[in-house]
Amino acid sequence: MSAKSETGPPVAPQNERNVNALFRAMHTATAAESDAQARLDTLTRVIAGHIVADVCSIYIRRPGDFFELYASEGLKPEAVHVTRLHMSEGLVGHVARRQEPLVTAEAPLHPDFVYRPETGEEKLHSFLGVPLIRAAKVLGVLVLQNKVPRIYTDEEIGAALAVAGLLAEIAASGELLGKEETATVSEVLRLPDRLVGTPVVSGVAFGRAVLHDAPLAHHKSFAADKGAELERLEDGLQSVRKSVDDLLADEGLSGVSREVLEAYRLFAYDRGWKERLRTHVFAGLTAEAAVERVKAENRARLSQARDPYLRERLHDLDDLSHRLLRHLSGEAEARPRALTEPSIIVAHSMGPADLLEYDRSFVKGLVLVEASEVSHAAIVARALEIPMVSGADGALERIFDGDRVAIDGEAGEINIRPTDDVFEAYRVRRELQSKRQAQFAAERDLPTVTRDGVEVELYMNAGLAIDMPHLETTGAKGVGLFRTELQFLIGDQLPRPAAQEKLYAGILKDAGGRPVVFRTADLGGDKAAAYMRGAAEGNPAMGWRGLRLSVDRPGLMRPQLRALLAAAAPGELNIMFPMVTLVSEIEAARALLDREIALRRRRGRPLPERIRVGAMIETPAAAWRAGEIARAVDFVSIGGNDLAQFYFAADRESPAMQRRYDPINAGFLAFLQTVIERVAETGRPLTYCGEQAADPLMATALIGIGVRRFSLPATAVGWFRRLVRGLDAGLFSEWLTTELAANRRDLRDAVRARLEHLGAPLPEGR
């Protein structure tokens, strides 16, 4: 290979060069000083010439869902603005309805073909139709036809799709059509629309859409002056930190929102983050390029994490990176936008600082493409009682700034530009939900006892200090699962025992005497910080993780046990070991705990008055030996999410796998019932943890097979209490026993029907 070929610019593939040449020709046509019709006529000639078609036609959508022939190269000129096809008619209507290309070598033989004599197309055979789509709306159809029967190549179809995409953009921009037609296109784009995402924070809200994400200015990659870039980086970091400190100085900020921002501030002041940025600047990158590079490294490190708590920390780091980039570009002063009316904030992702910078009196709802109920943005939204929906693909493409939007954070619905009757239905629903939330709050101290006298204990899951106020608001009996691994994953080194002790002591203080079960750090596999990287594993979910890693690396576990013992003294300490497979692992972990207890005694340090040790059953191997494991500990918890994953051999993070199995399955429930019975024989208490317990049908099935203690998300406690109080556990258990014996494959619909028959109060929309 010659030196010239190694150092010269890359050569684009031939098909890409052809499309680029076509785009240049289309740009020339649309930029010409002529009326709209002349520009359209020129465009059809240009497109037909480049794709080698006998006919090129552009149909534009008109009121009433008709598609009118607006320009054509090859059809009779008198057909233009005369030929019209409804969306239900012809091949053009077929393309518009399906919103996908149609290719046929013999158009007259297609069942949807409709002949229009004024077009003169009786001699045409081949047909390629491509929809003009923008914001998920069909604005028109591009048609290419040939006299000879032929199949269009993939290259030609790709070129037609690219052209259709560009035509849709310029049609919406007003560069292609006249004023009347452009107004019609605008009306089509603003038709009512609906998306369904993931419910995160319950409640109904409506207001004007405010698009939070804005493109940042382009920046160079390589620095001319490293010293100047380091200075810019330092200035940017100081500005970001000051902006967060200024938010914390707001006297109106309190409770959970303040605690979330305090946690966010730790990221902003993290020395490891700063040093990684400086390292890349020293390597020759600009400050902006260094931020982008570190952001990519963080994303690569955390995006594969299975634990939602860890994945959500990625959004905090992304948000900090965006804030720093805005300060470096000088755009930070323009943010946030001033709100003047009730608004729904729409963004790809968002950190807590950006959310809190908006005028909270006008923020009525939140739509994020990427977030979950454990994200900091969600936690703040929940604290501020802002309904939130996430995971709605296409939201940023289909919602325009200023659109009227109504969201239901319980059903996950997003109604875009709703009609007046839909809007009124949302208003009524909001009133009903407000009444229901008030009822849940009034019921928080009621006993969780079924109609036939069966007591069910409700605990909540947590993983951050900012989760703790939910204990008071929900009336949960305590924290049945506190995930401790986050501290180990957000920095560049092991957290010091003093920092761990401070966190755990704060959690116990916030619990106000209620029990808290601390699960030791479930590390390894997909949950590994940069400083603990080991050899790559083909199947990390079943690899060196959880208790296996902890007992092999006591340098990870012993400082955490030391911190827990110190934080809980002189009260009660509940420790739970994750991912238990063998009793020998529990014995090894207990030996480490005993060493730390003995060390504190020798040093004259106080110890908790009571230390209880538990095991989390998350594997079929542990479930099979549930009785033996229970006898080796003081209490047992079932990790339902992982246990179902291993039982069905189906990755719970895979959408395709989630559709293939349902935990409300006779085999899985019978398997769980065996585990429950074996633990019950030992007299040890058993808790069911995991998101499965937040599914009211699954939760009821679990009650039916004997579970009497649950730890579930705080958002589910209110309706769960009401469900329990309205359930006759004995009657339901008798029915479920019969169903399990019959080994019915699908029990979900049957469980729902049985609960309705028994009059149990199922949550709305479940």
DSSP calls for 178-194: -HHHHHHHHHHHTS-EE
Q: Please state the length of the chain.
A: 766
| 111: CB partners within 8 A, 6+ apart | none
CB 713 within 8 A of CB 641: no
How far is it, in rounded angstroms, from Cα 759 to Cα 199? 26
How far is it, in rounded angstroms, from Cα 754 to Cα 37? 65
How far is it, in rounded angstroms, from Cα 612 to Cα 618? 20
Peptide bond into 336 cis (omega under 30): yes
DSSP helix/strand/coil, 574: strand
The yes-or-no answer on residue 689 being catalytic is: yes
| CB contact burial 473-505 (16+ within 10 A = b; e otherwise) | bbbbbbbbbbbbbbbbbbbeebbebeebbebbb
CB 402 within 8 A of CB 205: no
Strands 193-196 and 479-483: unpaired
How far is it, in rounded angstroms, from Cα 71 to Cα 80? 6
The yes-or-no answer on residue 81 being catalytic is: no
Q: Which long-range contacts (CB under 8 A, 24 or more apart) does 115-121 make?
A: 116/79, 116/83, 116/85, 116/90, 118/76, 118/78, 118/79, 118/82, 118/83, 119/69, 119/72, 119/75, 119/76, 119/79, 119/83, 120/75, 120/76, 120/79, 121/55, 121/75, 121/145
CB 321 within 8 A of CB 290: no
Nearest to 365 by CA among 300, 305, 430: 430
In sequence order, what are the beta bridge partners of 367?
346, 389
Question: Token digits for 451?
Answer: 């109609």
How far is it, in rounded angstroms, from Cα 354 to Cα 319? 8
Question: Token digits for 119?
Answer: 């077009």
Among the listed residues 86, 376, 470, 757, the single catalytic one is 376
CB 583 within 8 A of CB 622: no
Strands 457-462 and 413-416: unpaired
Among the listed residues 50, 280, 470, 689, the single catalytic one is 689
DSSP helix/strand/coil, 216: coil
Angle between helices 729-742 and 696-704 (to 10 degrees): 90
Question: Token digits for 507?
Answer: 């959690």
Strands 686-689 and 709-712: parallel
Question: Token digits for 621?
Answer: 């191997």
| Ramachandran angles phi, psi of 692, nearest 5° | -60, -35
In the block, tokens 């390597």 appear at 283
In the block, tokens 């950190």 appear at 351
CA 55 to mean position of chain CA atoms? 45
Catalytic positions, please?
376, 689
